[in-house]
């Protein structure tokens, strides 16, 4: 990747001037950040899966083993926290680089790499701005400054991370739900509203395991994560981070149900769009698909559903097959 910072430079001029080369694009910073956030998210998922599979909570009546488990989990959770912090830094860089990647170059011009004015110099040879100055830089060059409360939260986390790396204070308690919330918060403020689940899905689909084996597990894992989130998040957070209407009914997503048929679950992650009685579409926040539906009563006895998947004729409330349309 060789980028010419000044597109007016003609090819003849290029022979006699020096350029900064290999300039990272905002998308490069963002891709790194998203992968770090996903690794941190994975840590929480796998710790919670172990609790579930061992049925720890069921047999550990006095809670002693559970306490021991979470004490042992502090190290991986602390590492996950450090990954999130790195992710935040890369996202701040991505947003600043959208204005110009050169804003991230640190130091006075006289301290730039020797001969940078007479030969091509790679972007990575320049010193870039310290992590602690990124928020200030962001707020100076972006049209809208960061939310103050969000800045406070990420600043606190930066300090926690430093304490974790440099001490360690044994009393520090990393809590898995807080880590997931932090990732959702970071994604909301620095990537965009309700973007995380889509990024998570793309990440799971591109893991080496998905490539080597298959993507069969992706939707099963995602369905588990989404139901954990629905249980954990307050209604306002569900709306903010997942883009769903917490008070509106959720229906089975036909596509997600087919993807999860091996384990026999039918994720209820779809909502009418728009949310009104005549609406003929449902949108699923888990797979990101919009599906056409017929608004007719379900034929199954005892089911009050009237949202029927339009193509194969399946009730999205009870998942029963409907008689063929006339």
Chain positions contacting Zn ion, by CB under 5 A: 253, 255-256, 284, 286-287, 298, 300, 303, 305, 315, 317-318
Spell out the residues 6+ positions from residue 206 whose beta carbon is closer than 8 angstroms to its own: none
Cα(268)–Cα(249) distance, integer angstroms: 9
The smaller minimum CB distance to Zn ion, of residues 154 and 269, is found at 269
Cβ neighbours for 277, distance < 8 A, ≥ 6 positions apart:
295
Distance CA 101, CA 23 (A): 7
Min dist. Cβ of residue 241 to Zn ion (A) = 17
Q: Between 186 and 218, whose beta carbon lies closer to Zn ion?
A: 218
**C-alpha span between 226 and 31 (Å, rounded):** 22
The least CB distance from residue 3 to Zn ion, in Å, is 39
The least CB distance from residue 18 to Zn ion, in Å, is: 52
Distance (Å, whole) CA 206 – CA 201? 9
Residue with smaller CB distance to Zn ion, 137 or 252:
252
Nearest distance from residue 232's CB to Zn ion, in Å? 20
By beta-carbon proximity to Zn ion, the closer residue of 23 and 298 is 298
CA angle at 301 for the pair 299 and 307, rounded to the nearest 5°: 45
Q: Considering the complex, what minimum distance in angstroms separates the CB of residue 212 from Zn ion?
A: 25
Please, which residue, 218 or 284, has the CB nearer to Zn ion?
Answer: 284
Percent of the chain as helix, strand, coil, to the nearest 5: 55, 5, 40
Of 233 and 256, nearer to Zn ion (C-beta) is 256
Q: What is the closest distance, in whole angstroms, from the C-beta atom of residue 299 to Zn ion in the complex?
A: 8
Is residue 5 within 8 A of residue 102, CB to CB? The reply is yes
Instruction: List all residues 6 or more positions away from 215 whose beta carbon is below 8 Å from its beta carbon.
Output: 204, 205
């Amino acid at each position: 990747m060789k980028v010419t910072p000044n597109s007016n430079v003609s090819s003849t001029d290029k022979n006699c001037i020096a350029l900064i080369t290999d300039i990272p694009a905002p998308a490069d910073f963002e891709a790194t950040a998203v992968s770090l956030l996903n690794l941190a998210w994975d840590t929480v998922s796998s710790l919670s899966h172990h609790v579930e599979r061992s049925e720890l909570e069921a047999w550990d009546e006095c809670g002693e083993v559970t306490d021991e488990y979470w004490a042992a989990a502090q190290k991986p959770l602390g590492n996950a926290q450090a990954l999130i912090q790195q992710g935040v830094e890369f996202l701040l860089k991505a947003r600043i680089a959208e204005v110009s990647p050169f804003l991230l170059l640190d130091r006075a011009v006289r301290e730039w790499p020797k001969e940078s004015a007479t030969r091509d110099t790679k972007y990575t040879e320049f010193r870039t701005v310290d992590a602690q100055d990124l928020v200030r830089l962001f707020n100076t060059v972006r049209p809208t400054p960061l939310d103050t409360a969000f800045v406070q939260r990420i600043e606190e986390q930066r300090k926690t991370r430093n304490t974790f790396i440099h001490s360690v204070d044994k009393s520090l308690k990393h809590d898995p739900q807080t880590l997931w919330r932090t990732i959702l918060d970071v994604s909301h403020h620095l990537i965009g509203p309700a973007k995380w689940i889509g990024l998570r899905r793309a990440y799971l689909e591109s893991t080496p395991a998905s490539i080597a084996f298959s993507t069969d597990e992706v939707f099963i894992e995602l369905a588990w994560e989404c139901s954990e989130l629905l249980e954990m998040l307050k209604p306002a957070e569900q709306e903010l981070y997942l883009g769903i209407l917490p008070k509106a009914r959720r229906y089975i997503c036909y596509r997600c149900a087919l993807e999860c048929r091996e384990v026999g679950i039918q994720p209820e992650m779809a909502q009418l769009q728009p949310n009104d009685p005549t609406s003929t579409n449902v949108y699923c926040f888990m797979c990101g698909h919009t599906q056409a539906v017929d608004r007719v009563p379900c034929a199954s006895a005892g089911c009050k559903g009237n949202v029927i998947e339009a193509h194969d004729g399946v009730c999205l409330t009870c998942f029963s097959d409907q008689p063929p349309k006339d």
